[in-house]
Structure formats: C-alpha cells, structure tokens
Chains A and B, each alone.
Chain A
Amino acid sequence: MAAPADSGCWFPALALGVSFLKCLFINAYHSTDFEVHRNWLAITHSLPVSRWYYENTSDWTLDYPPLFAWFEFGLSHVAQHFDRNMLQVENLNYASPSTVLFQRLSVIFTDVVFIYAVRECCRCVQVRKGSRDVLSRPSFVLAVLLLWNFGLLILDHIHFQYNGFLFGFLLLSVAKHLQSQHLQGALLFAILFNLKHIYLYVAPAYGIYLLRSYCFTQDNKDGSVRWTSFSPLRLLALGGIVVSVCALSFGPFVAMGQLPQVLSRLFPFKRGLCHAYWAPNVWALYNVLDKGLAVLGVRLKLLEEAELPRASMTGGLVQEFQHSVLPSVSPSVTLVCTLLSILPAVVSIWWRPRGARGFLRCLLLCALGSFMFGWHVHEKAILIAILPLSILAVESREDAGIFLVLTTTGHYSLFPLIFTPAELPIKVSLMLMFTIFSFTALRKLHSGQRSLLRPVEVAYLLGLVAVAIACEVVFPLSPWQQRLPFLPLLATSVYCSVGVSYSFLRLYGSLLRCEDKPKQL
C-alpha cells in the first residue's frame, strides 16, 4: 500500500507542499502593498522612533499599530543583508530582485506562525470514530482548507501582505479558547490587535465571552449568569494582560506624547465610504441602488441631471463623495449600523453562552457584521470570516453549507485584485482546485440524505461562474471595454454582496437557533 506509513506525516507534507507553491510566486505580480512594506522597513530602520509616525515622504505612511512597526524593525535587520538600498526612505518604488526575494521570503517564513496555528486548530477538531482513511478525517480537511486557502495564497503571496502571520495569531487564539486556555487566548488576541487594529472589529466577541464565561466561574442551572460567582482575580488577570501588551506597544509613543498623532494615522476617516473597488457589502448595494434611482429619476424627468453631484465613487481615487438620491452615509452612521448588527450575537452569548464554539460563532458574526456595515472596508477583510468558519464547517453540516457559499463568493470577490494577464491562469486554476476540493471533501465528510446546498444556493453559485466568465473573458474582448471600464468591478461587487449578505443572515439564524447545553468553564 502506498499510503504513508506514519499517519502523522501528512501535516508536514501539506505544509511543505504549500510552501513550495508559495516559492513559485516570488516573481509574480505584486501590488502597491509591496512598496508600502518596503517603505515601512525603510522608516523603521533609518529613522529614530520619534519620527516613525510623522514621516510622510512617501504616500504610504505608517498606519498600523506600533507592534507591527517593531516587527518591521526586526525584519529590516535581516533585510540589510539582502540589499541595503531598500532601507533608504528616499528610494521610493525601489524593487530590485534582492528586495523582491527578501520580501517574498519574509512572508513565506512568517507563515510558520500560521502553520503552527493550523496545527493547533486541527488538534481541537473532534475526531470522527471509525475513519481510518487520512483523507476523510476532519482534521485533514481542515488543514487543507486553511493551509491551501485560495484567498490567503493570492493575497499574501501575489498581492503581497502579511495576512498569514496575523491570521496565525487569530487562529491560535481561537484554538487556545477551544482548548479552554483563556489567558493564553487573551494574550494572543491582545498581541493581534496591536499588530493590526482591524481586528478590533471582533473585540466585542472576545470581551463579552471572556467576561461572561471566564470571569463568572459558574452558571445557574438554567444557564443564566450567577452574579455571585464573579471572580475579580480573573478579571484582573485579563485586564493586566491586555494593558501590559498595549503598554509594550504604545508605551514609547505615549511617553513621547505622540498618542494623538498615532491614533490619527491609525484611524484615517478622510477616506470614502467605499474603497475604489467596492467591497461586497451592504454599502455596495446601497450605492448601486442610489445610482439606479438617479438614472431612473433622470429618465422619468423627476430629477435634473445638472443637480446631481459629479460622483466618482467608481473612480480609482478614494475621495469623499455624496450620494445623489438616497441620504449620504457618514462614519458615525456606519458605526451605529455595525453595532446594531452585532448586538444580537453579543447579547446571545451573554444570555445563553454555548461554550467556545458559541464564542467562535459570535466572532464570525462580529467579523461579518463589521464587513457588511463598516466604513471603508477592504474586500480582503472577508478572510477574517472565512478562515474561522472553516473550523465550524468540518464539524457541522449546516455550517458546511454556509461555508461553501461564503467562501466561493468571498474568494471570487478577490479576483479583481489580481488583474494582470499573466496571473489569470494562476488565479483561475487555484480557485478551481480549492473550490472543487472544498465541495468534494465537505460533501464526503457530511454524507447524508440531503445535499449540503439548497437549490437556490446552487443556482447562485452557477450564476457566479457565469459572472466570472463574463467579466474575465467576454468583457475585455467586447466593445464596452472602453466606455464602461468599471462595469465588471460593479457586477462582481453587487453579485458577491448578495451572497455575503445571505451567508450573514444564515449564520445569524444558526446562532440564534442553536440550543446547546451551556458549558461550565
């Protein structure tokens, strides 16, 4: 039999295989994010700490929290052995072969955090009895879905970012909570949001879960909170961990009195409601509705065309703009909408905590809710929902169905990020491989009478294929290419927002309907 003799060997083989694949992308297209990180290497290496958040020679100013700046500082010490010139702040858009090699290798190497986190998550997944075949074990399927995740591969290793490193912390923190090691989980999360503050979106889930299930050590028989079992020691421990990590990260800047400047860099609200390419969320649908009504209004002579603001929502620059028919949306409105959308989830884990898996579901809903209603959301943020959902998908049948819809839609919405002709075969074949694997593996894992997907979902996904062919193949060869260049982006955003909204509602349904026994900690 050619099956591997050692049953534990498949994980290193998977990790090594995907690392080899990542090496092949070293010379592929990279986006402006490459220059962003090169600039940050230069800033942290060449300038004193006091100048880090004031430096603006380049447009790509430092807008991640200080712990990430320290991380870049550490990397820059290795970078100097590859090519010293990349560390000059004035060398804008410097991309020598050694620079490219170093940056790409740094992403591949820091992915070791992600690989370790995936290993921990695989250990948390329930082992199915009687499955001796490696390929049909939940842990194997989870490992492939996470390690070979299409979105992560093209975002990190083609588009260029450090998402693997960051998601490693998130998944490791989730794994620690699943293993009931809450202090470690809290520590990892504190480190995470000091590396990239976008993860503050899921902080409510952490906060309420830890407060309710960790600080209150016991529950009443019916599952409600027993106020007397509050443990101030645990609360103090958690608070201490978070505060000390933040102090480590922000401390030097608070000492220099630079906190307002740092915060203004971290939270730039001058940018518009939507990114240049609309993330597939509620505001994309809102924009389209607005545009549609405007066009309709002009056609029906209800509005004057001259009165409409010259909106350039679909232009390449991120400026503020006004809606023409529907009321304009401000940052505070989006904040309120986001909070309202995650409120039921958060209340639900306070009211009837369902253990660590309920927390995971709440985390997903916080991530998706903030994706749906947030201000200036990047389409890349869909990964914050897709990766943790993989853990639930290999365990529960309903979650597997939601996962298939959300993942396929979310991954397809990343297509416009990689627009060069040479990368077209790569993204199409990787997407096909991942999608086919996820469908067949999950179907085999949850074999039963009914199929995983409902007919309307199957129809939607087939429609996605049609949209893909239209946007990637038909449109560039058609005459509308010159007149309406944004049309494929628009179509992709709108079609995907339908899918993402649907998954959001279904996830909510599964959280609110789930009637597990409350667990003790």
Chain B
Amino acid sequence: MFGDYEAQRHWQEVTYNLPLQEWYFNTTDNDLNYWGLDYPPLTAYHSWICAYIAKIINPDWVELHKSRGYESPTHKLFMRTTVLVADLLVYIPAVVLYCLYLTDGSSKKKVSTLLCFLLYPGLILIDYGHFQYNGVSLGFALWGILALGLGWDVSGSMAFSLALNYKQMELYHALPFFCYLLGKCIKVGLMGRGLFLLVRIAATVLATFALCWLPFLSDPSQALQVVRRIFPVARGLFEDKVANTWCSLNTLIKIRSILSGDSQLYLSLACTLLAVLPSSFRLLTKPTFWHFKLALANSSLAFFLFSYQVHEKSILLAALPACLLLNDLPLVAIWFLQASTFSMLPLFLKDGLLVPYAVTSLAFLFLSIYLLSALDHCSEDELRLGAYNKLFFCLPRMDLARIVRWKFYISVAVMAGLSIVSVALVPPPHLPDLFPVMLSMAAFLHFFGTFVYFHVVQFSGPPSRKSQKKNN
C-alpha cells in the first residue's frame, strides 16, 4: 500500500538515518518527491521515536533506501501499534477527562457520551484503516479545549500550540482559541489582570513554539524551508472530489478554468474570512465555553467549506467540535458525524475498508441514538431552534420535532442508498465520476446545513431556564 502508510514508514527512515538539518531539504539521500516531510517538527520527532523502537525490533524496517515499500505482517502490527499507543497516551485520556468533567448529567449519561465519542467511525477508520496520526493532533487540541474549559488558560494555550506544531491543519481551530482567550482577557479587564493573563498566554505560546522549533532556529534558511514544506501554495483550488463549496460549484460553473490561480487564491481567502468572522466576533464579545465550542465547529466548517486546497480528511477537524456537542445537541451532532464519515467513503473504498465502514457506521448510528436518546430530545427548545420560528414567523407553525426527525430518516436513507449504489453499480462510461460527485454533493449539502444551524444556535439568545445550567 503505497500511501500514507509508506509515507509514515519513510519518515521514520529519514528521521532516524539522516541528521536533523537534512530532514526538510532535498538532498541525494532525501528525495522530497518521494513522500517528503510536510508536517511541522513535532511529527518529525514522533517519527524519530518510532524509528528508534523499530530499529530495536528489526533494523530492516528503517534501512535507508533499502526499506522502501517494505511490508510484512509484523511490521504492519508494529505500525498499527504505534497509532494505538499514541492514541492511548494523548487522545483517549483527553476524551475520558472531557466526558467526565465537562459534560453534565448523570454518570451513566457521561459514560454514554464517552462511548459515542470514542466510537466515531471517521477517526477510527482514517487513523487505523487509512493510516495517519490524527489522534495525536486532535488529542492535543482536545487537551487545550479541556484546559480552557476548566479555566487553566495558560496550560490550554500550551497544549494547543503543541497541536499546531504537530499538524498545521490545526490552524482551522486557531481563530476560536485566539478569540476566546482575547475575549476573556478583555472581560477580566484589559488594564490589570487581563493584560497580565494576555502576556502570560503569549509568552507560553512563544515559548512552546520556540521549544519545538529550537533545532531549526539556528539557521533562518532551515526555518524557512520547513515553512515552505508545510504550506505548499503551488497547488490548485481543490484536489480530487471533496465536499466543499468550490468542488460543488465546479460541477455547475467550471471555476478552475475560468479564474486564474492567483484569483482563485484571493477568492477563497475572501470567502473564508467572510465565513469565519461572524462567529469569531460573537465569541470575542461573549467568551463562554458554550460559545467557544460552537465557534470551534463554525470556524472549522467555514475553513473546510471555503478554504484553499482542502482534503476530505480535513472534515475530522470539524468532527472534533461536533463530538464535543454530543451531549448538548445529540441529534445534530450524530447526524453531522455520520455525514462526515459518509463523505470519506471514496477514500475508504480505495483502501478496501467497505466492511469496517458499514459496520462502524451502523453501530455508531444505532448505539448513539439508543444511548443518548437523540430522537427523543427533538423538541424545539432542545434543538435551540427558537430563532427559526422568529425568522419564519409568517409561515404556519409546524411541529418542528417531527419535521426534524423525518429529515434525519430521509438523510440517513439517502446516505445509505448512495453508499450501496457506489459499491454495487458501475457508473455509465461517459460519466465515470458520477458516484463520487453525487456523494460529495450530498455531503456538501449536509455540511452547509450544519454550518447554518450552528450559526443560528450560536447567535440565538440565551436558552430557556431549564437548560440554563448548561452554560458556564
């Protein structure tokens, strides 16, 4: 499997055998065209540690040049174990602590939330099936969120800086963190304690970055090369079929051919900023944990939908905030999480993961709806949809709960139908990409709908007295 699996193995080979100065450069020993390192330094250090252990077990696995394309059952077990160990050390403790301390309800509800959080199919299939280390970066981000929720702002910012230094895609979450912390400092009082807090946070962030980049800071060209590798701007507006606005728009109007490369960049930048600013501004004015969670969801969705060169796996960055909302808005969270898994189906099919996809999706849907009683908590108040009624006051009053439930059933049926059709049928010869395109358009509609919904919830007034205690 010459994909991400080989890329990770190759990075272990490179980081173990070559000196640090050569890791991000194109040298005779390090061919950057063959899976060159394109993540920040923490990933490289992690690969180095894994390579060290690999060398002890079997040196053939990380032999320079000779181990390209190496595959054996024991090596596969080793690589998968590294993912599991990383998850056990970083991601899973964060999830457990979040569910125990920052969700409310009885202990049984907390355990149910925990189970559903861990059972999210998208992360399991990508990390363990496709092979990546998203659990580490998402885990660090979750530690940051956890710390911020408990009021430990400095530790939270340190954890999030670590997440950023592991995968640059965590920038999707950076704006909410920034706005929340800034908003909190302003609220406490920009003269005095607020300023002190701000200075401490800034110092922590700078120190963490400096610590991670220390070996590369000795030579400015080193640091610049790393930046060049992690932010490649030479690619196009989107690649392959991804469920965001540009790909969906491309089916109607061929943007990629109409606009030039630079104007595509500026257009996506402008749209992303436009999409992200409202929710961030709201968070700045009302820096509560509830708004922080919603802003995380909104910001990552905005980036996914409108940004430049987005991969389908980036939906995981929006899935994490959705998982945080499993306790508060169960139905919509489960719906979105299922849609996100569904959107990655072409990737799973390429990896031969059809059966795990089907089983984990069905299990997730059944168990989460059963454990969290999602379909029972559909009333207008629980879904925070009071705003919709205000907007559509001219239309006759309808039973919102029933409508939402039916929409959910239809949506799940559509997703199931498209999944089966993608697998069972052969597309017509003049439209070879019919099914991936239909799939990504369906997913796009779900994501856009969720984007609008989360905005409505974030901007609606304080909830009714019953659920008042949910906010802090």
Chain A residues within 8 Å of B, Cβ to Cβ: 1-5, 9, 13, 16-17, 20, 23-24, 26-27, 420-422, 424-425
CB-CB under 8 A from A13, the residues of chain B are: 366-367, 370
B332-348 contacts to A (CB < 8 Å)? none
Binary contact track B67-79/A, C-beta < 8 Å → 1, others 0: 0000001101100
A17 lies within 8 A of B363 (CB)? yes
Q: 27 A-B pairs, CB-CB below 8 angstroms? A: A1-B105, A1-B106, A1-B108, A1-B109, A2-B112, A2-B372, A2-B373, A4-B371, A5-B376, A9-B370, A13-B366, A13-B367, A16-B366, A20-B359, A20-B362, A20-B363, A23-B355, A23-B358, A24-B355, A24-B356, A26-B355, A27-B355, A421-B74, A421-B77, A424-B77, A425-B80, A425-B81
Expressed in whole angstroms, the minimum distance between the Cβ of B154 and any Cβ of chain A is: 34
A420 lies within 8 A of B73 (CB)? yes
The CA of A425 and the CA of B81, in the complex, are separated in Å by: 9
Verify if B84 is at the interface (C-beta below 8 Å from A): yes
CB-CB under 8 A from A420, the residues of chain B are: 73
CB-CB under 8 A from A2, the residues of chain B are: 105-106, 108-109, 112, 371-373
Binary contact track B353-390/A, C-beta < 8 Å → 1, others 0: 00110110011001100111100100000000000000
The CA of A257 and the CA of B264, in the complex, are separated in Å by: 85
A422 lies within 8 A of B77 (CB)? yes
The CA of A421 and the CA of B73, in the complex, are separated in Å by: 7
CB-CB under 8 A from A422, the residues of chain B are: 73, 76-77
Chain B residues within 8 Å of A, Cβ to Cβ: 73-74, 76-77, 80-81, 84, 105-106, 108-109, 112, 355-356, 358-359, 362-363, 366-367, 370-373, 376
Expressed in whole angstroms, the minimum distance between the Cβ of B372 and any Cβ of chain A is: 6
**What's the dominant secondary structure at chain B's contact region?**
helix
CB-CB under 8 A from B106, the residues of chain A are: 1-2
CB-CB under 8 A from B81, the residues of chain A are: 425
Inter-chain pairs besides A4-B373, A421-B74, 19 sampled, C-beta below 8 Å: A1-B108, A1-B109, A2-B371, A2-B372, A2-B373, A4-B370, A4-B371, A9-B370, A13-B366, A13-B367, A23-B355, A24-B355, A26-B355, A27-B355, A421-B76, A422-B76, A424-B77, A425-B80, A425-B81
Which residue of A has the minimal Cβ distance to B356?
A24
Which residue of B has the minimal Cβ distance to A20?
B363
CB-CB under 8 A from A424, the residues of chain B are: 77
Expressed in whole angstroms, the minimum distance between the Cβ of B219 and any Cβ of chain A is: 41
Expressed in whole angstroms, the minimum distance between the Cβ of B361 and any Cβ of chain A is: 10
Expressed in whole angstroms, the minimum distance between the Cβ of A9 and any Cβ of chain B is: 7
CB-CB under 8 A from B363, the residues of chain A are: 17, 20
Of B81, B363, B367, chain A has the most CB atoms within 10 Å of the CB of B363
The CA of A353 and the CA of B146, in the complex, are separated in Å by: 62
Nearest 9 Cβ contacts at the A-B interface: A2-B109, A20-B363, A421-B77, A23-B359, A421-B73, A20-B359, A2-B112, A421-B74, A24-B359
CB-CB under 8 A from B108, the residues of chain A are: 1-3
The CA of A140 and the CA of B363, in the complex, are separated in Å by: 20
CB-CB under 8 A from A1, the residues of chain B are: 105-106, 108-109
CB-CB under 8 A from B358, the residues of chain A are: 23
The CA of A425 and the CA of B73, in the complex, are separated in Å by: 13
CB-CB under 8 A from B80, the residues of chain A are: 425
Pick the contact of B84: A17, A421, A425 (CB < 8 A). Answer: A425
CB-CB under 8 A from A20, the residues of chain B are: 359, 362-363
CB-CB under 8 A from A5, the residues of chain B are: 373, 376
Which residue of A has the minimal Cβ distance to B373?
A2
Expressed in whole angstroms, the minimum distance between the Cβ of B103 and any Cβ of chain A is: 11
CB-CB under 8 A from A17, the residues of chain B are: 363, 367
The CA of A26 and the CA of B372, in the complex, are separated in Å by: 29
Expressed in whole angstroms, the minimum distance between the Cβ of B138 and any Cβ of chain A is: 21
The CA of A3 and the CA of B371, in the complex, are separated in Å by: 7
Expressed in whole angstroms, the minimum distance between the Cβ of A303 and any Cβ of chain B is: 42
CB-CB under 8 A from A24, the residues of chain B are: 355-356, 359
The CA of A20 and the CA of B371, in the complex, are separated in Å by: 16
The CA of A267 and the CA of B387, in the complex, are separated in Å by: 76
The CA of A424 and the CA of B78, in the complex, are separated in Å by: 11
CB-CB under 8 A from B367, the residues of chain A are: 13, 17
The CA of A23 and the CA of B362, in the complex, are separated in Å by: 11
CB-CB under 8 A from B74, the residues of chain A are: 421
The CA of A424 and the CA of B366, in the complex, are separated in Å by: 28
The CA of A452 and the CA of B48, in the complex, are separated in Å by: 47
Expressed in whole angstroms, the minimum distance between the Cβ of B126 and any Cβ of chain A is: 16
The CA of A5 and the CA of B112, in the complex, are separated in Å by: 14
Which residue of B has the minimal Cβ distance to A22?
B359
Expressed in whole angstroms, the minimum distance between the Cβ of B71 and any Cβ of chain A is: 13
CB-CB under 8 A from A23, the residues of chain B are: 355, 358-359
CB-CB under 8 A from B373, the residues of chain A are: 2, 4-5
Which residue of A has the minimal Cβ distance to B110?
A2
The CA of A424 and the CA of B372, in the complex, are separated in Å by: 33
CB-CB under 8 A from B366, the residues of chain A are: 13, 16
The CA of A421 and the CA of B356, in the complex, are separated in Å by: 20
The CA of A9 and the CA of B105, in the complex, are separated in Å by: 21
CB-CB under 8 A from B76, the residues of chain A are: 421-422
The CA of A115 and the CA of B260, in the complex, are separated in Å by: 63
The CA of A16 and the CA of B376, in the complex, are separated in Å by: 21
Which residue of A has the minimal Cβ distance to B358?
A23
The CA of A220 and the CA of B183, in the complex, are separated in Å by: 86
CB-CB under 8 A from B73, the residues of chain A are: 420-422
The CA of A1 and the CA of B109, in the complex, are separated in Å by: 7
The CA of A261 and the CA of B150, in the complex, are separated in Å by: 76
The CA of A425 and the CA of B88, in the complex, are separated in Å by: 14
The CA of A17 and the CA of B358, in the complex, are separated in Å by: 13
The CA of A160 and the CA of B456, in the complex, are separated in Å by: 53
Of B84, B359, B367, B376, chain A has the most CB atoms within 10 Å of the CB of B359
Which residue of A has the minimal Cβ distance to B355?
A26
The CA of A24 and the CA of B76, in the complex, are separated in Å by: 18
Which residue of B has the minimal Cβ distance to A3?
B108
Expressed in whole angstroms, the minimum distance between the Cβ of B441 and any Cβ of chain A is: 29
Which residue of A has the minimal Cβ distance to B371?
A2
The CA of A17 and the CA of B84, in the complex, are separated in Å by: 22
CB-CB under 8 A from A425, the residues of chain B are: 77, 80-81, 84
CB-CB under 8 A from B370, the residues of chain A are: 4, 9, 13
Which residue of B has the minimal Cβ distance to A420?
B73
Which residue of A has the minimal Cβ distance to B372?
A2
CB-CB under 8 A from A26, the residues of chain B are: 355
Expressed in whole angstroms, the minimum distance between the Cβ of A425 and any Cβ of chain B is: 7
Which residue of A has the minimal Cβ distance to B56?
A477
Expressed in whole angstroms, the minimum distance between the Cβ of A419 and any Cβ of chain B is: 12
Which residue of A has the minimal Cβ distance to B364?
A20
Expressed in whole angstroms, the minimum distance between the Cβ of A189 and any Cβ of chain B is: 35
Expressed in whole angstroms, the minimum distance between the Cβ of B106 and any Cβ of chain A is: 6
Expressed in whole angstroms, the minimum distance between the Cβ of B14 and any Cβ of chain A is: 26
CB-CB under 8 A from B376, the residues of chain A are: 5
Expressed in whole angstroms, the minimum distance between the Cβ of A499 and any Cβ of chain B is: 29
The CA of A5 and the CA of B372, in the complex, are separated in Å by: 11
Which residue of A has the minimal Cβ distance to B81?
A425
Expressed in whole angstroms, the minimum distance between the Cβ of A377 and any Cβ of chain B is: 31
The CA of A17 and the CA of B115, in the complex, are separated in Å by: 13
Which residue of B has the minimal Cβ distance to A477?
B57
Expressed in whole angstroms, the minimum distance between the Cβ of B221 and any Cβ of chain A is: 44
The CA of A420 and the CA of B77, in the complex, are separated in Å by: 10
Expressed in whole angstroms, the minimum distance between the Cβ of B365 and any Cβ of chain A is: 11
The CA of A2 and the CA of B106, in the complex, are separated in Å by: 8
The CA of A1 and the CA of B111, in the complex, are separated in Å by: 12
Of A1, A20, A27, chain B has the most CB atoms within 10 Å of the CB of A20
The CA of A23 and the CA of B106, in the complex, are separated in Å by: 32
Of A2, A20, A26, chain B has the most CB atoms within 10 Å of the CB of A2
CB-CB under 8 A from B84, the residues of chain A are: 425
Which residue of A has the minimal Cβ distance to B367?
A17
Expressed in whole angstroms, the minimum distance between the Cβ of A8 and any Cβ of chain B is: 13
The CA of A9 and the CA of B80, in the complex, are separated in Å by: 36
Expressed in whole angstroms, the minimum distance between the Cβ of B92 and any Cβ of chain A is: 13
Which residue of A has the minimal Cβ distance to B74?
A421
The CA of A27 and the CA of B353, in the complex, are separated in Å by: 11
The CA of A425 and the CA of B362, in the complex, are separated in Å by: 23
